[in-house]
Amino acid sequence: MSQRLTITRPDDWHLHVRDGEFLKAVLPDTAKRFARAIIMPNLKPPVVSVEQAQAYRTRILEALPSGASFTPLMTLYLTENSTAKEMEKAKSSGFIHAVKYYPAGATTNSDSGVRQWSKVEGVLEAMEELGLPLLVHGEVTDPQVDVFDRERVFIEEQLIPLALKYPKLKIVLEHITTASAVKFVLTANSNVAATVTAHHLLLNRNALFQGGIRPHHYCLPVLKREKHRQALLEAVVSGNPKFFLGTDSAPHAQNVKENACGCAGIYTAHAAIELYAEAFDSVGALDKLEAFASFYGADFYGLARNKDKITIEKQQVKVPTELPYGGQSLIPMRSGEYLLWSLVA
């Protein structure tokens, strides 16, 4: 019989599910594997108020397949117009768990993001007081900075000073991609953590140019050199609770990915835990998967760990070349190729 692994049902601490027909198309993939997910607020228009988050939460619950038990953990999008009062409302709502910082212009629907930290000082003080985590897209947007250096420069120029200025603020550096980010998280206070995607654990930047340009491997922060992938792998298998699972699964229709100016985002929700298992297995560390996927994130967010289990097995399974996506198509990671692990129904 093939090798099987049963773990506590995991949570996804960074997920894009979009809205409307797109939401209906992708949500079942996540709900099949995960109990909860932190839902990114970069819709158009962004989710900036408690009211908008509540309405979005309702749409997500309505889009769930019947019988699914899945809890969306909502977030607010930080803008220069955010207020401390809205943060208090968010905290007391019980369904908003974090606030997302996008540097203005850094990525998909980030135009409403923050240009100057000084504009959100009062809001960050309130969040620090309330214990409401700040989720950080950690890249500078200066076009003069090399795209492969934008995470490192952000950490040096903005995040280190920020963490010093708000020493009790809970910070999650999202989708880390570099050895610099690993080092930052390791040396920071215990209230600083990071999410790591499956694609950044499995791919390096060569995947962008494998026999030609590969738009479906384009995401932000962009894939980095092999030495950085190795640093991420080492961090997640170390068993350090500061590193936990966040897929950043980010669906875009095929036509906007295969485009002269293609969107950033890799869709991994169709095989998320399977892809993480492959990464951990590649370094003989499957015993470290459960805590990374199912314990550390919940502990950081102050939520109870899940009780039920899922089982995966080491069984090759072919990924469809495309998935339906609201009348369009979505090209999933490993499209037309094999996963090494599969979910046992």
Number of residues that bind ligand DOR (CB under 6 A): 10
Cβ contact 97:74 at 8 Å:
yes
Q: Is position 86 an interface residue for Zn ion (rule: CB under 5 A)?
A: no
| Residues contacting residue 238 through CB under 8 Å, at least 6 positions apart | 288
Neighbours of 116 (CB within 10 A): 9
Q: Which long-range contacts (CB under 8 A, 24 or more apart) does 203-211 make?
A: 203/229, 204/228, 204/229, 205/148
Cβ contact 313:4 at 8 Å:
yes
Closest separation in Å from C-beta 344 to Zn ion: 28
Q: Is position 11 an interface residue for Zn ion (rule: CB under 5 A)?
A: no
Exposed/middle/buried for residue 139 (C-beta within 10 Å: 0-12, 13-18, 19+): buried
Q: Is position 250 an interface residue for ligand DOR (rule: CB under 6 A)?
A: yes
Report the run of H or E that residue 229 belongs to, with start and end: helix 226-237
Site for Zn ion in 218-277 (CB under 5 A): 248
Closest separation in Å from C-beta 179 to ligand DOR: 20
Closest separation in Å from C-beta 248 to ligand DOR: 6
Closest among 316, 233, 309 to 271, alpha carbons compared: 316
Name the active-site residue from 11, 12, 29, 248. Answer: 248
Q: Is position 233 an interface residue for ligand DOR (rule: CB under 6 A)?
A: no
Site for ligand DOR in 4-63 (CB under 6 A): 16, 42
| 248 included as an active-site residue | yes
Site for ligand DOR in 111-150 (CB under 6 A): 137
Closest separation in Å from C-beta 252 to ligand DOR: 6
Active site residues: 248
| Interface positions with Zn ion (CB under 5 A) | 248
| Interface positions with ligand DOR (CB under 6 A) | 16, 42, 107-108, 137, 219-220, 250, 264-265
